[in-house]
Chain A
């Protein structure tokens, strides 16, 4: 048993080489952070730190990273440390490096030196092929570090020599945009750091299969972190902007809670304008479409799972459900605008909105209900049937109750989806962009009185007028603010955004939590 053979099985403690690779990544992270700060206006690109402009500083960082990465490859290649590189870096890195260097060379030759396509194209092809060749032919340790390190080095030198500095700008003729250093310097830094860190990550675990895993994991983890941060920052941003307007004038007094943003409409006499009509509109919209769509969808789901046999008919239904599910909301809106609106009082109305959103809700509820009913174990049905209970009784008293949690979850999630829909209600429901409190739909109109003429009673539960009049809703309110020109009411807009976000995301949160809860219950 040779020594090397056993060393493969159990590795030594982290080596100097690994520490070197880690510190290169560390420098990269630092440069990355500064680049993001510049991108998000946290610091100016020409600000000076320790006597260097930020772009120069980033230049130092990327140069170090680039040198380090090239060094890592070289040290491994000459056998100064023992690593396990493959014969070649592989096709995918080769293609990517080829593309990268093709772009670099093409841009430099055409933009910096101003040559035409006859010169830059061959030059770029040559350089790109060269980079791909370096990735393919030498051993993996050189093939994956040299093109990466060299790129970081080039970027660093360009920043250091102020070829791209704080005063640089580039207006390509074919694009109606100008690239300013504030965008380009951070972008190039981030790109260089990512590429170089990937190579350093590979080096950290000695190249080969495990090195590739480390390099890939670094990028993937960073990506996941990035996505999550973008989404969280987005929500946090809305909250920070909206919390002020939302609670403006909020007070809890002897006469109860006074919350102008939620209780007021829009009126010149108001101190604080609010979104009361929009909240009421969204409420009735949701209630109405649930009343319309849920029985229909659940009934259809029952028929499809309990009565129908697999065949043409179920296929057609499936097709229709999927079609409805994927139809863009603006198409629903257009349909409502041209079909429903003329037939329902000939003006935009709450009722049209209810219908259109109900149509959108049907497939969402139908699909989840079908799943839920399908998940009810057959034993339940058999047990019930064995007692001589009729099929409908079984469905009514066994199947549907068992599927109820799943159905409700589907309804909640579906409602979350439609509550935020703007396009359809813009077309079929919206009226006044900034409704006053009086304009909030007053759907419930419970009255009962005796009259002298047939049928001698005058009872009403629901106000036809409210249903057939236009109404606002939270998403439409936000749209109205945008089209009115944000300048005057931006704060109002952020407040509305926050309310909308809270409403929709709570539906989602409740729906997802209940789904998780019932899934767990089902499993155990």
Chain B
């Protein structure tokens, strides 16, 4: 698919500019140099420097002799390289995780420490242990559960409060307030997660430890709350943007019929902006799932499931914190298992982002009346 589209775009490219033999030759040589550099880097052949020098020379010639064509070719190569980077990350993640997946099979994703039986039938296999590098046992179940619980808590905080706040800013707040608060919130969206982590670690962990008398410092409850607050500004700002795009004429129509502002908001504005608002929420969820540092420093990162499962004061591990807390002294197999965690994360977040794109496209279509 990618290949044929590449070819197709190359063809349009050729048709557009008249390419003479020298340009074609230079282009071919340049591409060969570039591919050599890339292959050499990936396979560690040590030829990167001469290949890049060669490419630069060809580039220099092209710039001098065929500037427009070269520019087009270079920007095209740049575009390809963004695709290449994602492709490389994907391929590399998967390749690195293969070892662990081969070793553990599906148990990587469903293996429990003790087998889970329902009416005497084993539904989930027991491995004796969730995560034990010494016996090469790796199961991502605890980390996936941790990610699920913290994301759920974070979403419960960020989604309703964030959307309500966006509604307030877009529809209720007086102009002057919006003009101050909106950029303020956008700036606060930039607070780095390690800052939340530091505050969580020094202040909140102690607070929760003292006042909830948890057995140890750190809990999903706190992490979820912190991540939720962290995602709030993003949700608010994106949701506000989309509420802002609902045309005034539509709202005027509702108001002129004698509906209150609140009725107009809930029955016209919010539904009309539903795609953008849900994209905002999904964005927040994506952030929460991928959030690493705050969770890593707040949690205890012991690999295991809370007992009982819904004990939100459990102090275990999430997919991201599993990676961050174990990569340093991981052997080959363990590292591969961490890559498997990376793959699960990657796929989940990619899926979310595609879903939000879909929703947006679909609702845009509906709004335009097709």
Q: Which residues on A are within 8 Å of B, measured CB to CB?
A: 171, 174-180, 182-183, 209-210, 212-213, 216-217, 219-221, 223-224, 226-228, 230-231, 234-235, 237-238, 295-297, 299-300, 302-304, 306-309, 311-313, 315-317, 319-335, 337-339, 342-343, 359, 362-363, 366, 390-393, 395-396, 416-417, 419-423, 426-427, 475, 478-479, 481-483, 486, 490, 493, 497, 500-501, 504-505, 507-509, 512-513, 516
Chain A residues with Cβ below 8 Å from B306 are 176
**Given A220-B164, A221-B168, A307-B76, does the pair A317, B83 have CB atoms closer than 8 Å?**
yes
The answer to whether B75 has its CB under 8 Å from any CB of chain A is yes
Q: Which residues on B are within 8 Å of A, measured CB to CB?
A: 1-2, 4-6, 8-9, 12-13, 41-42, 44, 67-68, 71-72, 74-76, 78-79, 81-83, 85-90, 92-93, 96, 161-162, 164-165, 167-169, 172-173, 181, 183-195, 197-199, 201-202, 211-215, 219, 221, 229, 232-233, 236, 259-263, 286, 289-293, 297, 306, 308, 310-315, 320, 323-324, 327, 335, 338-339, 342, 345-346, 349-350, 352-354, 357
Distance in Å from the Cβ of B364 to the closest Cβ of chain A?
15
Distance, CA A126 to CA B99, complexed state (A): 55
**Given A177-B212, A178-B213, A312-B5, does the pair A330, B187 have CB atoms closer than 8 Å?**
no
Write the chain A residue with the least CB distance to B177.
A224
Q: Are A307 and B313 in contact (CB under 8 A)?
A: no
Residue among B262, B293, B354 with the highest chain A CB neighbour number at 10 A: B293
Q: Are B41 and A343 in contact (CB under 8 A)?
A: yes
Write the chain B residue with the least CB distance to A223.
B164
Distance, CA A501 to CA B197, complexed state (A): 13
Chain A residues with Cβ below 8 Å from B342 are 330-331, 334-335
Chain B residues with Cβ below 8 Å from A234 are 191, 199
Distance, CA A176 to CA B220, complexed state (A): 11
Q: Are B173 and A224 in contact (CB under 8 A)?
A: yes
Residue among A177, A317, A504 with the highest chain B CB neighbour number at 10 A: A177
Chain A residues with Cβ below 8 Å from B12 are 309
Chain B residues with Cβ below 8 Å from A237 are 199
**Given A329-B290, A343-B44, A482-B198, does the pair A505, B169 have CB atoms closer than 8 Å?**
no
Chain A residues with Cβ below 8 Å from B291 are 328
Chain A residues with Cβ below 8 Å from B2 are 312-313, 316
Residue among B83, B184, B289 with the highest chain A CB neighbour number at 10 A: B83
Chain A interface helix/strand/loop/mixed: helix
Q: Say which residue of B162, B191, B323 sits within 8 Å of A330 (CB atoms).
A: B323
Q: Can you name 14 A-B residue pairings with CB atoms under 8 Å?
A: A227-B236, A313-B9, A320-B83, A320-B85, A327-B89, A328-B289, A331-B89, A332-B89, A335-B89, A343-B42, A417-B190, A420-B191, A478-B198, A516-B183
Q: Are A326 and B349 in contact (CB under 8 A)?
A: yes
Of all A-B residue pairs in the complex, the 4 with the closest CB atoms, nearest first, are: A420-B192, A328-B290, A312-B5, A299-B78
Distance in Å from the Cβ of B254 to the closest Cβ of chain A?
12
Distance in Å from the Cβ of A500 to the closest Cβ of chain B?
6
Distance in Å from the Cβ of B163 to the closest Cβ of chain A?
10
Q: Are A423 and B320 in contact (CB under 8 A)?
A: yes
Q: Are B262 and A303 in contact (CB under 8 A)?
A: no
Chain B residues with Cβ below 8 Å from A303 are 72, 75-76, 78-79
**Given A223-B165, A335-B89, A504-B191, does the pair A311, B339 have CB atoms closer than 8 Å?**
no
Distance, CA A331 to CA B8, complexed state (A): 32
Chain B residues with Cβ below 8 Å from A339 are 88, 92
Write the chain B residue with the least CB distance to A420.
B192
Q: Are B353 and A295 in contact (CB under 8 A)?
A: no
Chain B residues with Cβ below 8 Å from A482 are 197-198, 201, 297
Chain A residues with Cβ below 8 Å from B353 are 322-323, 325-326
Distance in Å from the Cβ of A38 to the closest Cβ of chain B?
11
Q: Are A329 and B292 in contact (CB under 8 A)?
A: yes
Q: Say which residue of A322, A390, A392, A417 sits within 8 Å of B354 (CB atoms).
A: A322
Q: Are A328 and B92 in contact (CB under 8 A)?
A: no
Q: Are B68 and A390 in contact (CB under 8 A)?
A: yes
Distance, CA A396 to CA B233, complexed state (A): 37
Q: Are B190 and A416 in contact (CB under 8 A)?
A: yes
Distance, CA A217 to CA B198, complexed state (A): 35
Write the chain A residue with the least CB distance to B200.
A482
Q: Say which residue of B164, B188, B290, B314 sits within 8 Å of A224 (CB atoms).
A: B164
Chain A residues with Cβ below 8 Å from B186 are 508, 512
Q: Say which residue of A224, A297, A359, A504 sits within 8 Å of B168 (CB atoms).
A: A224
Distance, CA A311 to CA B186, complexed state (A): 34
Q: Are B187 and A512 in contact (CB under 8 A)?
A: yes
Distance in Å from the Cβ of B86 to the closest Cβ of chain A?
4
